[in-house]
Amino acid sequence: MSSAGELKVEGNRLVLSGNWTLPHYADLRSRISAVHIDTSSVFDKTNLEEIDQLDTAGASLLVELFGVRGIKQLISTDAAMSRERRDMINIVIQSLDNDATPESQAGFDVRVSLARMGRRIVHAVNQLMLLIGFGGQLIEICLAIFWQPRRWRVTSFVAHLHQTGLNALPIVALLSFLVGAVVAFLGATVLEDFGATIYTVNLVAFSFLREFGVMLAAILVAGRTASAYTAQIGSMKANEEVDAIRTLGLSPMELLVVPRVMAMVVALPILALTGMVSGIVGGSLVCIVSLDIALPQILHILQERIGVIHFYVGISKAPVFAFVIAMIGCLEGFKTRGSAQSVGEHTTSAVVQSIFMVILLDSIAAIFFMEMGW
């Protein structure tokens, strides 16, 4: 019968012996809890040679006893330790490092913070490269099937267009109407001090034609549709339906991604136009009711003082936003690992990434159009 593991202090030396294995885990755990020593002062006089058998359960107890730093130094200075045992302990350290590090490190460590920041930057760069590669593959497939109408998924395209565009029209129109009214109220409050309340109409028209109309529509679509794309494809991957599509010799990109992306590219400009019109109507209503600006005067300002270039600037951004939002939603769906938790995490990630990319691209576009004088 195998002997249980032993843990005792002999002078200035910590003695570990016996079998540190799963059957003795509970007993060893209680012994570790009962021994109150400063392992940092004795581990340099300790070795693991007297331990007969060691498995991952026993290795996790060693990590708990010495801490991540201590066990790393211990196995690095123990020349007699076998390579197999050292590799096993290193694997256990890696798996427990996230939990052990906060306990073993006291205070603020600049190196740890910089390492954490570096890992996040590397992760963000990898995500960007993956997104660019996915976009290139998507464009390649779209160009390949463009000249082959028999490969067009018209039914799927119409279904997603209905879901993405028609079903989103009421909420986009309502939200844009309310935001237009708020912008008119705020503009009138500021411009009243200068006796220029008439320019509230210009403010609302400029803001919705260039920015708010397409931005509100894109953000709503990012939260409403990108999450739906991720959840749909993620659930299909969890149910192994994506693997079944590949087994049948079909392309998941062509079958699942292209119709969704094309539907988004067609729907978002329509939603952006709806948002522009609704926002201007909401602002005009405030001007009529609160500022006593007549409707014919509002129409005259819109016709004579608001150039059509502002509409072109705003609507030109819609297809780009749509392509990026749909691409992120589909990519996050393919990245799920088959569990409900993974589907939820990637759905959240899709919404956050989509909104971030929309705001980033809009900022770049605003700088570009300003420098071009448009």
**What would the DSSP string read from start to end of 196-259?**
-GGGHHHHHHHHIIIIIHHHHHHHHHIIIIIHHHHHHHHHHHHTTHHHHHHHTT--HIIIIIHH
What's the gap between Cα 78 and its chain centre? 44
Distance, CA of 224 to CA of 242 (rounded, Å)? 23
pLDDT score of 315: 92
pTM of this prediction?
0.68
pLDDT score of 334: 87
Question: In this structure, are strands 6-10 and 13-20 parallel, antiparallel, or unpaired?
Answer: antiparallel
pLDDT score of 102: 46
pLDDT score of 106: 47
**Partner residues linked to 9 by β-bridges:** 14
- State whether CATH 3.30.750 applies to domain 6-104: yes
Quick check: 174 and 145 in contact, CB under 8 A? no
pLDDT score of 37: 58
pLDDT in tens, 71-123: 777 777 776 677 777 888 888 887 776 554 444 444 567 888 888 888 889 88
Q: What is the DSSP letter of 53?
A: E
Distance, CA of 272 to CA of 164 (rounded, Å)? 13
Nearest residue to 53 (alpha-carbon basis) of 85, 94, 14: 85
End-to-end C-alpha distance for the chain, whole angstroms: 86
Residue 337 φ/ψ, nearest 5 degrees: -105, 10
pLDDT in tens, 201-248: 888 999 999 889 999 999 999 988 988 899 888 888 888 888 888 888
pLDDT score of 1: 43
pLDDT band at 42 (very low <50, low <70, confident <90, very high): low
Share the mean pLDDT of the chain: 83
pLDDT score of 11: 63
pLDDT score of 175: 93
pLDDT in tens, 243-300: 888 888 888 888 888 999 999 999 999 999 999 999 999 999 988 888 888 888 889 8
- Residue 38's H or E segment, with its range, is none
Q: Where in the chain is the domain with CATH 3.30.750?
A: 6-104
SS3 state at 307: coil
pLDDT in tens, 174-189: 999 999 999 998 988 8
pLDDT score of 182: 92
